[in-house]
C-alpha cells in the first residue's frame, strides 16, 4: 500500500468541525478543518500549503477562549505513548507523547511509585501543552520534571530537541510562547525519581495529609491529597465549563504592595480592623499577590454577566455557568474585573487564558 494512503487512513480529518468538546469552556465554535494525527510522520507529511489558513495546534483546549469561529485548520495530536527509560539508581526518564492526557501521565508515575509529578495531579490538559505553558500547582511546575522537549520545527520540518535550560521557563511561560506557531511539541522527556521526595510546603498540602505519617507517604498518597484540594476549589470541567485560573497572579514591588495594604485598610468598615492582604515574598524582593484575593475584595465573587459567572468557590476562575455563555459575555466580565482592579489598586491583571 502506498505510504500516503496509510497516513490518510489513520488520521482524522473533518471539515467544518464543531470544537465544543475541544475547549473546556464549552464554547460552541467551529473550525474550517480539524486534523487529528496519530504519528509524527503523519504530521510531517501534511499538505501544509493546501490547508485552510491560519493553522493552529491545540491540546485539550483547557486554557483557551475561542472568541469566534476559527477560519483555518486546527491540529491535534493523538500521539499517545508513555515509555520508561530506567537510568539505574534513583532516576527514571519517561518519554511521553504530546497527545497523552497530562493527568494520565501523572497517574502512571504515581502507580509505579515515582516522585515528581504528584503535585500536578488533576491539572486539565495534555502533555504537549504542559511543556509550552509550564503548568504549575502546589509548589511544583512542569519545568521541574521536564528534562527535554522534542519538537517539529515548522520552518524546515526538522526534528528539534531542546534541553530544559534552553526553554526559558518562567511562571506560565516558555520560549514556545514567544516563538508562536514555529514549534510543534511531539513528545516530552520527563525526569522522575524513586527517591522519597514529597513536596508538602505549599499552603494546604500538609494540612490535607494531617494524621498521616509524613515519613512514609507514597506518591499516590500525595496525589490523593492534591485531588481532594482541587476538587473542593475548582470546577470539574465535565460539569461546568471553565479554563481553570482565568488570570495570572500579579507580581509587584514591595512599595506598591504597601500602597495596596493602605487601600485595603481605607476600604475596611469603620471600626473594623484593616484586612491583612495575603501575599508571598519572592526571593528578588518583589511580592506576589493572589489575583483571587484582589477580585474577591472588589465584590466579584459570584458576579454574573449573562451565562458567565465568577466562580463562588474560587474567584480566579470564570465559569460558563449557563452552558451557553458567549465569548463576549466572558470577556465583558474579564474587562470589568481588569479595569476595577486597575482603578482601585493600580495593578494590571493579565489573563492566563489564551484568547483565540
Q: Which residues are catalytic?
A: 172, 245, 352
76: which residues sit within 8 A by CB, 6+ positions away?
A: 22, 34, 35, 36, 37, 57, 58, 59, 99
Shortest separation between residue 305's beta carbon and ligand EPU, angstroms: 20
Q: How far is CA 35 from CA 1, 32, 48, in A?
A: 22, 10, 12
Q: Where are the alpha helices (DSSP H) in 268-326?
A: 291-297
Shortest separation between residue 88's beta carbon and ligand EPU, angstroms: 33
Shortest separation between residue 7's beta carbon and ligand EPU, angstroms: 35
Distance CA 60, CA 22 (A): 6
Of 31 and 109, the one with the shorter C-beta distance to ligand EPU is 109
Of 278 and 323, the one with the shorter C-beta distance to ligand EPU is 278
Q: What are phi and psi of 355, to 5 degrees?
A: -95, 125
Of 138 and 169, the one with the shorter C-beta distance to ligand EPU is 138
Quick count: other Cβ atoms within 10 Å of Cβ 149?
Answer: 27
DSSP 131: H
Shortest separation between residue 292's beta carbon and ligand EPU, angstroms: 5
Q: Which residues bind ligand EPU (CB under 6 A)?
A: 137-138, 202-203, 234, 244-245, 248-249, 280, 288, 290, 292, 316, 352
Distance CA 325, CA 41 (A): 38
Of 105 and 138, the one with the shorter C-beta distance to ligand EPU is 138
Classified as helix, coil or strand, 336 is helix
Amino acid at each position: 500500500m502506498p505510504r500516503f494512503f496509510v497516513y490518510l487512513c489513520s488520521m482524522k480529518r473533518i471539515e467544518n468541525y464543531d470544537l465544543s468538546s475541544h475547549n473546556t469552556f464549552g464554547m460552541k465554535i467551529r473550525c474550517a478543518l480539524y486534523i487529528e494525527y496519530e504519528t509524527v510522520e503523519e504530521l510531517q507529511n501534511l499538505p501544509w500549503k493546501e490547508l485552510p489558513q491560519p493553522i493552529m495546534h491545540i491540546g485539550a483546549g483547557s486554557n483557551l477562549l475561542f472568541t469566534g469561529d476559527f477560519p483555518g485548520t486546527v491540529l491535534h495530536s493523538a500521539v499517545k505513548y508513555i515509555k520508561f527509560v530506567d537510568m539505574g539508581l534513583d532516576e527514571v526518564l519517561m518519554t511521553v507523547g504530546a497527545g497523552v492526557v497530562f493527568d494520565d501521565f501523572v497517574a502512571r508515575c504515581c502507580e509505579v511509585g515515582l516522585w515528581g509529578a504528584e503535585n500536578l495531579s488533576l491539572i486539565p490538559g495534555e502533555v504537549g501543552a504542559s511543556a509550552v505553558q509550564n503548568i504549575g500547582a502546589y509548589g511544583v511546575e512542569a519545568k521541574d520534571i521536564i528534562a527535554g522537549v522534542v519538537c517539529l520545527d515548522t520552518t524546515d520540518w526538522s526534528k528539534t530537541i531542546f534541553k530544559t535550560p534552553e526553554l526559558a521557563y518562567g511562571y506560565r511561560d516558555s520560549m514556545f510562547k514567544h516563538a508562536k506557531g514555529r514549534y510543534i511539541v511531539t513528545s516530552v522527556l520527563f525526569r522522575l525519581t524513586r527517591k522519597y521526595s514529597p513536596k508538602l510546603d505549599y499552603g494546604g498540602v500538609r494540612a490535607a495529609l494531617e494524621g498521616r505519617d509524613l515519613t512514609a507517604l507514597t506518591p499516590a498518597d500525595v496525589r490523593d491529597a492534591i485531588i481532594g484540594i482541587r476538587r473542593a476549589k475548582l470546577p470539574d470541567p465535565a460539569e461546568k465549563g471553565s479554563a481553570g485560573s482565568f488570570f495570572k497572579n500579579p507580581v509587584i514591588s514591595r512599595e506598591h504592595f504597601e500602597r495596596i495594604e493602605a487601600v485595603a485598610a481605607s476600604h475596611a468598615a469603620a471600626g473594623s480592623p484593616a484586612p491583612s492582604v495575603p501575599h508571598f515574598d519572592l526571593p528578588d524582593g518583589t511580592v506576589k499577590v493572589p489575583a483571587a484575593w484582589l477580585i474577591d475584595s472588589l465584590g466579584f465573587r459570584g458576579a454574573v454577566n449573562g451565562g458567565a459567572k465568577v466562580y463562588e468557590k474560587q474567584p480566579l476562575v470564570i465559569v460558563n455557568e449557563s452552558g451557553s455563555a458567549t465569548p463576549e459575555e466572558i470577556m465583558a466580565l474579564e474587562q470589568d474585573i481588569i479595569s476595577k482592579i486597575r482603578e482601585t489598586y493600580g495593578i494590571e491583571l493579565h489573563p492566563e487564558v489564551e484568547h483565540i
